[in-house]
Each structure stands twice: as structure tokens, then as C-alpha cells.
Amino acid sequence: MAKSPEEEHPRKAFGWAARDTSGVLSPFKFSRRATGDKDVTFRVLYCGICHSDLHMLKNDWGYSTYPLVPGHEIVGVVTEVGSKVENFKIGDKVGVGCVVGACHSCNNCANNLENYCPKSIQTYGFKYHDGTITYGGYSDIMVADEHYVIRIPDNLPLDGCAPLLCAGITVYSPMKFYGLDKPGMQVGVVGLGGLGHVAVKFAKAMGVKVTVISTSPKKKKEALEKLGADSFLVSSDQDEMQAAQGKLDGIIDTVAAMHPLAPLLGLLKSNGKLVLVGAPEKPLELPVFPLIMGRKTVGGSLTGGIKETQEMIDFAAKHNITSEIEVIPMDYVNTAMERLRKADVRYRFVIDIGNTLKSN
């Protein structure tokens, strides 16, 4: 008979979990594995709230298992390392993102693309090598294989850099892969949320001119003044969109809701690239004429491999890039989820685990 979450591993752990598709989180006692030879154990200090957490809590994608402890933008301080761990020591500031395991024998793993491994193990809600379910960062400690642990440079504040572990890599990776990182390029960012606002910051640091494309005119001031975007387009404003036709080398589209692609394709120059990092559940309409007449492409991207995640964190450290966050106590999390559902956050909630997650 399967052991209970509290009993399946030798070390006590505590977090908040959802028990069903209501997605409501509440205190949850469980356990973590002992620190294996190649494992790093760390005390969690902060965990970002990703929109994927909300999707998973509600079982929007159909593969959630309960109880579910979300959280894959996790940062903290190392408390124990296994005997074969080479790159980390106690006291190091570290983070873990979306993936905690993979097969290490496929082509993708060989190319540092563990996130695309068909057997990749996500940080929460997936079956680990030992058959137990992974629990994420809305918890007091994490145990992860060294390979999947990211070193956080000293100059990055832990709370502000937590969201980079998912939001950051999710936009950084396609900007590099699709070549939208060259100084002087004109790149659009659709959606100014957790992903979008980081995309603006990365793009500016790469010397790219950024146009934010949003349905909310009230985001314009912050986009231009606080985030440094070069221009702002209200996507429902026909005249503005018309005037901007054919101006962009690429677009990073962070919107996961259903939305039309045609107007975005129109904004691209010929050979322009529209890259989707949010995944609407239903297919979108693809008008083929603009694709063909302008040799344009529509591509996708999913987070990034571990090597690239470290590269992204180091890039952020070099340019002092962090996420704009609202730090919340653990017991605010359900309210935060409600607000996130209404896109009422500038621009990422981060749970102050270290100071507010208390088991009674």
C-alpha cells in the first residue's frame, strides 16, 4: 500500500498544497528524500507564483495529481550537500526552476535541453525516479539533484530573482534561439505580465528596441517609464496597429489566452518571427497569406535547459535585472491566486517562504 506523503520519505517537510481542482491551498505536512550523493538540500527562502501554478492547481491541463504543492521559481540557501556534489557548498545561494530530472541519454539531454527531454521530470506534480510525486517550492525545504540547481550570484536579491527561474528563462531562451537579441533590432512583447515585463528588461539589456503590445492602455506609463520600453501599442486600437505594420523583426508573445495572430503577423517585417511562449489550449487561426507573402514564421518555446538557465541568471546578474514583484506572506496565497487570475499584479507575486511559512 502506498505510503502517505508524510511517510514516504525520511525527512519531514511542510508546505501548502491544493487537495482538489478547487485549487484552494492550505497547510500540508509531507516529507522529502534524504540528501542523496548527488543531491543538494536547501532551505527555501522565496518562491515565485507562476501562472502555470494556477493552471495546475485548477487542473486546466488535465494532468494534475492531488495533493499538489506548486512552485517552480524557488530560491534559498544550501544546508546540506551529498558526498559527490562538486559545485555547491553549505551557505550557497541557489535556485531551482521547472525541471528536476531527465533521462540524460537522449539527444535533447546531450544538447543541454533537459526541458525538452521526453522523460523530463517537472518540479512538481511529476513522478520522480524513485516513483514518488515531486512537490514544489511552496514549502520549507527542497532536495534536488545538483545538475538541476542554479547558482545565484551574490549581487542578485533573492526575492526579485526567483521569478527569473521560470519567467526569465521562458523569454530569454527564445530571444536567443530565434535571434531576437541583436542590438538595434525591433522586438515586440505581447502581454505585460510576469513574462512580458522580464522580456522587456532582457531586450533592453541586449540593446534591442522594445515595443510593448497590450490590451490595457493603463500599462503604458509603467511600460515606458519604469521598464524602459521604447514604445507601446494598444492592440485594440486599429489606427495604432495599422501605423505600426511591418516594423518589427520579431515578437515575443506571452499571452496564453485565445487571441488573434493576424494583427501580430502584420506588425512583422518580412522574415519576421512571431514566437509564442504562452500556450492557448485551443488552436489559433493562422492566416497563411501573410506568412507566405512576407516569409514570416510562427514558432514556440518552452522554458530552457539548465545550462541556459544558469547563463540567463548570470546575464541578469551582470545587468542587475530582477523581476518586479509583490512579496506576500504564505497565508495570502489564495488571495494572490484570485488576483493573478484577474491579472492584478505588477508583475509577479513572490511568497516570502523563509519568514512566513510556519508549521504549527
Partner 1 sequence: MAKSPEEEHPQKAFGWAARDSSGVLSPFHFSRRENGEEDVTIKILYCGVCHSDLHIVKNDWGFTRFPVVPGHEIVGVVTKTGKNVKKFKVGDRVGVGVLVGSCKKCDSCQQDLENYCPQVIFTYNSLYHDGTITYGGYSDAVVVEERYVLRFPDNLPPDAGAPLLCAGITVYSPMKYYGMTEPGKHLGVAGLGGLGHVAVKFGKAFGLRVTVISTSPKKEDEAINRLGADAFLVSSDPAKMKVAMGTMDYIIDTVSAVHALAPLLGLLKLNGKLVTLGLPDKPLELPIFPLVLGRKLVGGSDVGGMKETQEMLDFCAEHGITADIELIRMENVNMAMERLAKSDVRYRFVIDVANSLSQ
- Residues near partner 1 (CB under 8 A): 107-108, 113, 116, 174, 177, 246, 261-262, 270-271, 273, 276-277, 279-281, 283-302
In this complex, which beta carbon is closest to partner 1, that of residue 27 or of residue 294?
294
Q: Apex CA 54: angle with CA 261 and CA 251, to 5°?
A: 25
349 SS3 class: strand
Residues in the chain: 360
The answer to whether the Cα torsion of 257, 263, 265, 268 is positive or negative is: negative
Residue in this structure with the C-alpha cell 484577474, named with its chain if needed:
342
| Least CB distance to partner 1 at residue 247 (A) | 12
In this complex, which beta carbon is closest to partner 1, that of residue 34 or of residue 279?
279
In this complex, which beta carbon is closest to partner 1, that of residue 14 or of residue 172?
172
41 SS3 class: strand
Which grid coordinates are listed for 140? 520549507
177 SS3 class: helix
| Least CB distance to partner 1 at residue 1 (A) | 35
| Least CB distance to partner 1 at residue 270 (A) | 4
| Least CB distance to partner 1 at residue 356 (A) | 33
Which grid coordinates are listed for 100? 528536476
In this complex, which beta carbon is closest to partner 1, that of residue 13 or of residue 113?
113
| Least CB distance to partner 1 at residue 31 (A) | 31
Rounded to whole angstroms, the Cα distance separating 134 from 137 reads 10
| Least CB distance to partner 1 at residue 243 (A) | 15
Name the DSSP letter for residue 139: B
In this complex, which beta carbon is closest to partner 1, that of residue 217 or of residue 246?
246
Concatenated DSSP letters for 146-185?
GGG-EEPPTTS-HHHHGGGGTHHHHHHHHHHHTT--STT-
Contact 223, 229 (CB under 8 A): yes
| Least CB distance to partner 1 at residue 104 (A) | 16
Rounded to whole angstroms, the Cα distance separating 266 from 282 reads 22
In this complex, which beta carbon is closest to partner 1, that of residue 271 or of residue 335?
271
From 161, 217, 163, select the one nearest 195 (Cα to Cα). 163
In this complex, which beta carbon is closest to partner 1, that of residue 238 or of residue 245?
245
Name the DSSP letter for residue 30: E
| Least CB distance to partner 1 at residue 170 (A) | 10
Name the DSSP letter for residue 195: H
In this complex, which beta carbon is closest to partner 1, that of residue 207 or of residue 300?
300
| Least CB distance to partner 1 at residue 305 (A) | 11
Residue in this structure with the C-alpha cell 489550449, named with its chain if needed:
281
Concatenated DSSP letters for 78-110?
EEEE-TT--S--TT-EEEE-SEEE--SSSHHHH
Tell me the residue type at 163. Answer: P
In this complex, which beta carbon is closest to partner 1, that of residue 75 or of residue 312?
312
